[in-house]
Amino acid sequence: MTSAMQASRTGSATTLRTVTQRKDALAAGLVVGMLLLIAVGFGWRSLFRAKPSEPFQNFTITRLTDNGKSIEAAISPDGKYVLSVVDENGKRGLFLRHLPTNSNTQVIATGPEDYSAPTFSLDGNYFYFLAAKERYQQFLYALASTSAWWHPPADRARC
């Protein structure tokens, strides 16, 4: 081989190595550039993104009873009614309060029976409560919450 041929081979190998190195450098530069672009994008997003609202920042507390006689209560699923057991001098009764109008309706007059555990059905159409004449003898009652008048049955059949 002549020295001209060796120089020509060496030159093309060097040129091939240089082209390969440039492609590798270009690929590495593109990867670094993309990573920087993604990092800048996340940075801008975090700067200009709306702050998440903290729960319960805007709420009001309203007193539902002010007579000091309510001992148990239940709120309807729609939040419009409160059924409460009221104790007046040892005699209990049930009252239904319509919150939007703040009107109170006596469901059961105060009497010797012990009313407890008021609750609403999941759809809010009925409410339930326990009634007991004697300490260990309780009965479960259901009442449609839309009933205008309700009188406890004279015969206290077990449920």
Name residue 21's amino acid.
Q
Predicted structure pTM score? 0.55
| Cα separation, 79 vs 46, whole angstroms | 38
Is residue 27 classed as helix, strand or coil in its secondary structure? helix
Residue 65: pLDDT band with limits 50, 70, 90: confident
Q: What is the pLDDT of residue 85?
A: 92
Could you tell me if 138 and 132 are in contact, meaning their C-beta atoms sit under 8 angstroms apart? yes
Residue 150: pLDDT band with limits 50, 70, 90: very low
Name residue 96's amino acid.
L
**Least trusted range by pLDDT, from 7-16, 23-32, 127-136:** 7-16
Could you tell me if 65 and 84 are in contact, meaning their C-beta atoms sit under 8 angstroms apart? yes
22 sits in the region (left: phi over 0; alpha: psi -120 to 50; else beta) called: alpha
Residues above pLDDT 90, as percent of the chain:
7
Helices (H) then strands (E): counts for the chain:
1, 7
Q: Which residues pair with 88 in a beta bridge?
A: 91
Q: What is the pLDDT of residue 153?
A: 43
Specify the higher pLDDT residue, 132 or 16. 132
Average model confidence (pLDDT) across the chain: 77
127-154 average pLDDT score: 70
Could you tell me if 117 and 129 are in contact, meaning their C-beta atoms sit under 8 angstroms apart? yes
Q: What is the pLDDT of residue 13?
A: 58
Which residues, 6+ apart, have CB-to-CB distance to 140 below 8 Å? 128, 129, 130, 159
5-31 average pLDDT score: 69
